[in-house]
Structure 1
Amino acid sequence: MMNQLIEFSINHWEMVAVFFAILITLIFVERKGGAQGVTPSTATNMMNTQDALVVDIRTEKEFNAGHITGALNIPATKMKESLHRLEKYKDTPIILVCKSGITAGPSAKDLKKEGFGKVYKMQGGIAEWQSSNLPLVKG
């Protein structure tokens, strides 16, 4: 297996170089100004001990199909015009939840730019929450 990987890397060094360039860029972009990721268990702990606010950035239809108890639904596409709904939570930990943990980053950066200091994103999103057998409410 290792010999095949080395042989592939030698024969296709251009693809390997591009892969590593993209990987390094992705890591750099995620770390720069991005929100810290939290696991569902850490998120639950933050909700219970720090009164963290969960903001679900999925569409209203996805939100109504199942969401975390007490979550506020602000779709990512409407985040900038809905910031007034979050003003009173500027000093509260805010946990952003999306479908799979990938799209919460840009919304987190928007909130940080607006002065929200404690912004987190749920690793794995609502899919990870469900796979951890944690409850969802409908409607």
Structure 2
Amino acid sequence: MAKQHSPRFLQLVAEARSRIRECTVEDVRRRIEAGERFVLIDVREESEYAAGHAVGAIHLSKGVIERDIESKFPDPQTPLVLYCGGGYRSALAADNLQKMGYTNVVSMEGGWRAWVQAGLPVEHGTAPTNTSG
């Protein structure tokens, strides 16, 4: 069952969505099948990522993505596709990355739930531990 979000949070997400680009799970599937080069980033919490994530996705949680993105992907033109549980946190993260100068970032609508519902490949396990703070 999807979490019920507060009105202020939903307003914040709506504002972010007015400034970002979004894509569907099907768009991401087509990009993968076409061999397109992009980075798929799971912005959920580490425990969510460990429980299951899209095959090939790297983990940069919403709590650290703004801090760590430049060290991992210094080129602000790097194609980035962000996803979370349902498309809310990834929209907020995409908005912030754009504010940081990233020009090729999109948020995947429906997030992890849509990925699983579409029957796309998943894997389990934790991301490497980031000890920098």
| TM tier, smaller | 0.7 to 0.9
* Match in the other structure for 1:86: 73
C-alpha change, 1:106 and 1:64, in structure 2 (3 Å) is same
Q: Which structure ranks higher in relative contact order (CA pairs < 8 Å, sequence separation ≥ 6)?
A: 2
Give the counterpart letter for 2:31 in structure 1: M
Question: How many pairs were matched up?
Answer: 114
Q: Give, in angstroms, the shift of residue 33 of structure 1.
A: 2.1
Q: Which residue, 71, 77, 84 being the options, matches 2:63?
A: 77
Choose between structure 1 and 2: higher helix proportion. Answer: 1
Output aligned runs, 1:1-139, within 5 Å.
29-34=15-20, 36-47=21-32, 48-83=34-69, 84-88=71-75, 90-139=76-125
Give the superposed CA RMSD.
2.1
Q: Aligned-pair distance for 1:40?
A: 0.9
Deviations along 1:82-117, one digit per CA (max 9) or x if unpaired, are: 1221224x3232110100111211110111112211
- In 1, the alpha carbon distance for the partners of 2:100 and 2:12 equals 24
DSSP 3-state at the match of 1:115: coil
Q: Which runs of 5+ in 2 are unaligned?
A: 1-7, 126-133
Residue 131 of structure 1: CA displacement? 0.5
Q: What is the deviation of 1:26?
A: 7.3
In our comparison, the structure showing a higher alpha carbon Rg is 1
C-alpha contact 1:50 1:93 (8 A) present in aligned 2: no
What is the alpha-carbon distance in structure 2 between the residues aligned to residue 81 and residue 27 of structure 1?
A: 20
3-state SS in 2 of match to 1:120? strand
Task: Tell me the TM-score normalized by structure 2.
Answer: 0.76
Distance 1:30 1:81, change over 3 A: closer
Answer whether contact 2:13 2:92 (CA < 8 A) is retained: no
Unpaired stretches in structure 1, ≥5 consecutive residues? 1-21
Offset of residue 49 of structure 1:
3.4
Partner of 1:103, secondary structure, is: helix
